Chain A
Amino acid sequence: MSLSSLATAAPPVPTVPTAARGYWLGVARRTLRDPVTMTCLIILALITLAAILAPWVVPADPYKTSMIRRLAAVGTAGYPLGTDELGRDMIARLIYGGRLSLQLGILPVVFALVIGGSLGLLAGFVGGKTNTIIMRTLDVFYAFPSVLLAVAISGALGSGMGNSIIALTVVFVPQITRVAESVTTQVRKLDYVEAARMSGASAVTIIRVHVLSNVMGPIFVYATGLVSVSLILGSGLSFLGLGVKPPEPEWGLMLNTLRSAIYINPLVAALPGVMIFVTSMCFNLMADGIRSAMDVKG
């Protein structure tokens, strides 16, 4: 007896599908079970929340200078983390600094994700000459070290937060495009995309339904890893005087202005660096964790 006749002979079954464990649910579950990733996630959430809610959680004014309280040590009464070279409260400045620093870390990556992701999808899906033109043009950017490129663009555009974000976006677009292009090229050649073409679907439908869902994961993970790079580069630009201008609190700028105090009060001078280090490490480890959580077939 053939199987199809067996199937038609079988009694009707309820049309309720079994609880399908979706792929993303599995990823979320594996992420929740990973202590390192969860720790990073919590730290980042705390830093972000503190930055967003700064006016409400910060006890002191980050701009208020005090000539007699300059470079107070960590643990001074009223200033748990000391004061900077102009006597401003370090806690307040670190928390407020997170606002600009996180923006410098996240916004360029988001912009680059939109631009680079689209370019990469286009290059990967269309292939041929389009691919060659897009990818070889972007290769030009690889000729410059990313730090140098960011400094050069920032320098050309002039200092300021907006220009720093533009400069960093330009640095990240080629990198994200390259990742997006390579995963799209892989997916495009798979049989399910061919089968979708066989069913008469348009390129836009195929990209929307079949390609995006399969390439977004790797691209997103890569972008998360870039946030830490962006944070460090952005701080570097501020450090060089190409980014945020004093007296705005920003971790890279604070590191620069406290540089001269490194022999007098090294602990306080290192604090902005600690913040940059912790935040970027957390973004890196989180990207790693999500990547391994996603790297499971079945």
Chain B
Amino acid sequence: MHTDIALPENVDRGGPAQPLLLVEGLRKHFPIAKGLFGRGGGAVHAVDGVSFRVEKHEILGVVGESGCGKSTTARLLSHLIDPDDGQIIFDGEGVGDPDGITVRELRRNLQMVFQDSFASLNPRMTIEDSVAFGLKVQGVSEAKALAAARDMLDKVGLEHGRFGGRYPHEVSGGQRQRVNIARALAVNPRLVILDEAVSALDKSVQAQVLNLLLDLKAEFDLTYMFISHDLNVVQYISDRVMVMYLGQVVEIGPVDSLYGNARHPYTRALLSAVPSLEPGVRTAASPLVGDPPNPVNPPPGCRFRERCPHAEAVCAAAMPELAAVGDGHFAACHMADPSSGHSAAAPEMPS
């Protein structure tokens, strides 16, 4: 923890069994820009009834293609944008509830690291000032905030004597992302949302930053939500993985169970699209055809059915719910639900 810096202590209020974050029915529809007078009508269903939980000290990976609502979910959790509907419970306390915690309190406990390391730092501020800013806002004195910022820079592998006084354009992309991590950790959060935090980095730098993240997690007892489109990285770092498609969770489960025995056709298509390093193992054709449907008017029933090779009448009729398919492993597919009436819905999945 921070050496002698006066910061509110992070009390584990709910006990170890209480999930750090419980999200229930989170929804955000962006209304289509309407003119000054006319109404455009319709809304982009960016996040549509997302429910999940993040256990304490775990890393939850979130995957999905562009536009599936990963980043919107992250911004909703941190209340950078306000959700239309849904409940967020942080360590047993409802956010914004009368007897829960305020958004301001939540934000101190929850920090984000963004993909674009350059846009995430004020170009007119030195690195150490950027890291210290959050602490100053929290009411820590100028000198103490700066000392803590320098301390944190050292912890992310940037000697403060060499780097602290530099401006963001004077350091490399990997170093900038370390600064962003230091900035997020400086306010002593409990949950860090890494929104494509390593996606823009070179593979070698990516590995360094990932290892740094794992070290920091151990040192500060952190919990991560790791959003990425890189399935290999997610498999490497995550304890559990959540797959999103068009604003909904289609599958969630422990990393080995999900990568080894994916039950949703979309997850399987994603996994088979990962390029293999084995020269003998090559995917001949793209397993997934077509584009995701327009999020303005999502089709009724299962949102994946238009691209799904196993789609049947029931898929158009009803939206599949998340159903248990294994130990802590859930999939939202009619084929995983024996009572759905789907011809392939049997205890044994067709392979």
Contact = CB atoms under 8 A, between A and B. Distances in A.
Interaction A to B: yes
A159 to B, nearest CB: 39
A139 to B, nearest CB: 12
A35 interface: no
Interface in A1-18: 2-8, 10, 13-18
A213 B126 contact: no
A197 interface: yes
Contact of B134 (A2, A136, A199): A199
Nearest to B166: A20
Nearest to B113: A195
Interface in A148-204: 190-192, 194-201
B161 A2 contact: no
B10 to A, nearest CB: 15
B137 interface: yes
B142 interface: no
Contacts of B160: 13, 15, 17
B133 interface: yes
Given A199-B134, A200-B108, A214-B124, A3 B212 contact: yes
B66 to A, nearest CB: 18
A89 to B, nearest CB: 50
A224 to B, nearest CB: 20
Contact of B169 (A16, A197, A201, A298): A298
A209 interface: yes
B162 A18 contact: yes
Contacts of A195: 112, 114, 120, 180, 183-184
Contacts of A214: 122-124
B211 interface: yes
A64 interface: no
Contacts of A191: 114, 116, 119-120
Given A3-B211, A17-B164, A199-B133, A210 B122 contact: yes
Contacts of A137: none
A209 B216 contact: no
A94 B212 CA distance: 69
A214 B122 CA distance: 8
A20 B80 contact: no
A4 B215 contact: yes
Interface in B73-126: 75, 78, 80, 104, 107-108, 110-112, 114, 116, 119-126
Interface string A76-106: 0000000000000000000000000000000
B100 to A, nearest CB: 17
Contacts of A196: 133-134, 137
B159 interface: yes
Contacts of B126: 17, 20
Contacts of B170: 20-21, 298
A130 interface: no
A191 B215 CA distance: 25
24 contacts: A2-B215, A4-B157, A4-B216, A4-B219, A7-B159, A8-B154, A13-B162, A15-B161, A17-B160, A17-B164, A19-B165, A20-B166, A23-B123, A23-B124, A191-B114, A195-B120, A196-B137, A198-B107, A198-B112, A200-B108, A200-B137, A205-B137, A210-B122, A298-B170
Interface of A: 2-8, 10, 13-23, 132, 136, 190-192, 194-201, 205, 209-210, 213-214, 297-298
